[in-house]
Amino acid sequence: MKPNRITGSALARYVQCEASAFLEQDEQPYSEAARQGHRIHTPLEYWSLGARVEDIVARSHPDVRAQIPSLLEGAQRAEVEPLPGLPVAEVTFAFNPLTGKARILGAGLNRDYSGFNEGEWGGTADVIGLHDGGPAVLDWKSGKWIKPPRELWQMRFLAVCLQGVLGAPSGVFLAIHSTRSAKTNWQMAEPEDIAKWRQTLMNVGAAHAEVMAGREPAPTLGSECRFCASKNHCPAWIGNAP
């Protein structure tokens, strides 16, 4: 049994329930909230790459053009400097859950994960760099309700990958920048946090390997079920949905 493509943005679901990585998935509608989030991410990506403000405004979607000055003002306050020798924006990582090794697949790939090796998981960081002298991952969020960065498996995954690429057991600053409030929530992921998260990811990878070798995947109900594209095909969800 072969798993679905596993990415950092869906990792909370896969950590909760191994079956969600193998069950059939329904196509998910592209919501207006998702479209608006993409419209906001695009000018911030241009800014991260050093584009001029007038060019950013000109290339932005008309629905967000008026927000650009405040977006960029908030982004400038995030205080992230480039990491020498590494890309800055839209950086895609590949992670091998059996070895715990990570690499940079590229930048500006628009979530094209076709370059992954068999079994690798992927995730894209909006921005990586240096903050207060240490490696950092910054993510732009446009939603109303945003968890602290250390609580998000997406950010934990990116911290594991960035530390692995740098090859040093340092901590990693994690930040969520809210485009609604123009505030940035910084938290430090200590080396022991990252080691624990890496081990959890490797445990999930080992469980997936068992399923691929013939074991039946075990569905697990939990808070992530409502977001799962496989819930209509899940024996645990069908008949037990709230």
pTM (predicted TM-score): 0.86
* Segment 157-200, tens digit of pLDDT: 999 999 999 998 889 999 988 877 778 899 999 999 999 999 99
Burial 170-201 (b: 16+ CB within 10 A, else e): ebbbbbbbbbeebebbbebbeeebbeebbebb
Phi, psi of 129 (to 5 degrees): 175, -155
Of 229, 206, 161, nearest to 13 (Cα)? 229
Q: Over 165-232, what HEC string results?
A: HHCCCCCEEEEEEECCCCEEEEEEECHHHHHHHHHHHHHHHHHHHHHHCCCCCCCCCCHHHHHCCCHH
Alpha carbon 134 to its chain centroid, in Å, reads 20
The DSSP letter of residue 29 is P
Give, in order, the Cα–Cα distances in Å from 55 to each of 11, 60, 224. 35, 9, 39
Model confidence band, residue 107 (pLDDT cutoffs 50, 70, 90):
confident
* Segment 123-167, tens digit of pLDDT: 999 889 999 889 999 988 877 767 899 999 999 999 999 999 999
Question: How far apart, in whole angstroms, are the C-alpha atoms of residue 226 and residue 232?
Answer: 10
Domains and CATH numbers, the chain: 8-233 (3.90.320)
